[in-house]
Amino acid sequence: MRAIIAVLLLMVGLSFSQEIREHPLQYEEVIEGMDFEDVKLLLKTALDGRNMNVLGVVDVATEKPRFSYMLVCNLSYAEKIFREMPQLGVMAPCRIYLYEREDGSVVVGFINVKTLLRVFDKYLSERSKELFLKADKDIKSAIAEVKGE
Amino acid sequence: MRAILFLAGGVIAALAFVFYVRTQLITPENMYFFTLEAKGKKHQQVVDELVKKFNEKGLKVIRTLPMSKVIHARGIKDFPNYTTILACDIKEKREILRRVPFMSVLLPCSVAVYEKDGKVYITAMKEFLLIKDYSQELGDRYSQVIADTYQKLRIAIAEVAEENER
């Protein structure tokens, strides 16, 4: 009887945890202890340093809570990927968004590349998948640099 | 006996239909992308017509990114013509992005105009799945705003793609 109750509680718990789960196509990281503008500037510099060219920064909301997004593209990667699946260009340039939370922390988010690769797996060659993963790594390492990690 | 054969035939037909729908219709390509061929038009002509059409329909164009021109300038001359148009600068974007930051995937809208096998294609994202997953956070009003914007975008693309055929 106790086992049945435990399983039922687990199932209820799982159903609630699924409700607050992030969309699988979304990836976010939280940066604490830094001002929004500082994060934005440092992230732009870190991305440029990785050949992830920031084509533009759009400030959607300049008063708190602030919100901006960056249009980022690595044309060397894009050139190879678009030859195979040009439709993926509608996700380019990659949008990296930043927003301020009530506690002052800054959230940086972008598309979850690993989920994207699962969705379009059969359309892409191993080489293109590697380029996607490299881009993902470049962006995540840029965020880590901003965090001082 | 006839009844059994009839039943078996029905089951096979139903399975074939399900197989067709799952492999040909419900593909990631069909679910996430809206693509039309612009028959009888050149790449740059399509880009110019789309920019004009989007602005006319209130889907304000923010930027046009000539991807292939930059790639050609780097010495890769065989890359086919490719342009990305960023549009849909709608007044509700601020509220939508504050509610669901991830909607920056949809706003601004990216429209790709590219050449493949000597033909010119136009592709835009389909918004249905993303809106559905965030419907609670967006609410009815903003879900509808995005859906209406993308519907208008598809109509504009279809008008440009098909104008020559009339």
ipTM beyond 0.90?
Answer: no
Give the mutation candidate from B37, B88, B102 for the A interface (greatest A CB count, under 10 A).
B102
> Any CB–CB contact under 8 A between A30 and chain B?
no
- Residues in chain B predicted with pLDDT less than 50, given as ranges, are 165-166
**Closest CB to B82 among A67, A86, A107:** A86
Q: Please tell me which residue, B8 or A1, carries the higher pLDDT value.
A: B8
**What does the pLDDT look like over B96-107, one tens digit per residue?**
999 999 999 999
3-state secondary structure at position B23: helix
Give me the pLDDT at residue A22, please. 67
For chain B, what is the largest distance between any 2 Cα atoms, rounded to a whole number of angstroms?
Answer: 72
Contact A23 B112 (CB under 8 A): no
**What does the pLDDT look like over A6-58, one tens digit per residue?**
555 555 444 444 333 467 888 999 999 999 999 999 999 999 999 898 999 99
Contact A67 B63 (CB under 8 A): no
Residue B14 Cα, gap to closest chain A Cα (Å):
26
Q: Average pLDDT, stretch A59-81?
A: 92
Q: What is the CA radius of gyration of chain B?
A: 20
Give me the pLDDT at residue A125, please. 92
Contact A79 B123 (CB under 8 A): no
Q: Domains, chain A, ranges and CATH?
A: 25-147 (3.30.310.70)
Question: Which residue from B minimizes the CA distance to A73?
Answer: B67
Q: What is the CA radius of gyration of chain A?
A: 19
**What does the pLDDT look like over A71-113, one tens digit per residue?**
999 989 999 999 999 999 898 788 999 999 999 999 999 999 9
Give me the pLDDT at residue B18, please. 66
**Closest CB to A61 among B79, B94, B111:** B94
Give me the pLDDT at residue A19, please. 39
> Any CB–CB contact under 8 A between B64 and chain A?
no
Give me the pLDDT at residue A9, please. 53
Q: What is the C-alpha separation between A57 and A34, in angstroms, rounded?
A: 19
A6 Cβ neighbours under 8 A, 6+ residues apart: none
> Any CB–CB contact under 8 A between A74 and chain B?
no
Give me the pLDDT at residue B15, please. 75
CB-CB neighbours of A13 under 10 Å: 10
Contact B101 A109 (CB under 8 A): yes
Contact A97 B102 (CB under 8 A): yes
Q: Which residue, among A39, A22, A20, A32, has the nearest Cα to A103 in the 3D structure? A: A32
Give the residue extent of every domain in chain B.
Answer: 33-165
A127 Cβ neighbours under 8 A, 6+ residues apart: A80
Residue B15 Cα, gap to closest chain A Cα (Å):
23
For domain B33-165, say whether CATH 2.40.160.10 is its number. Answer: no
A33: phi then psi, degrees, rounded to nearest 5: 75, 15
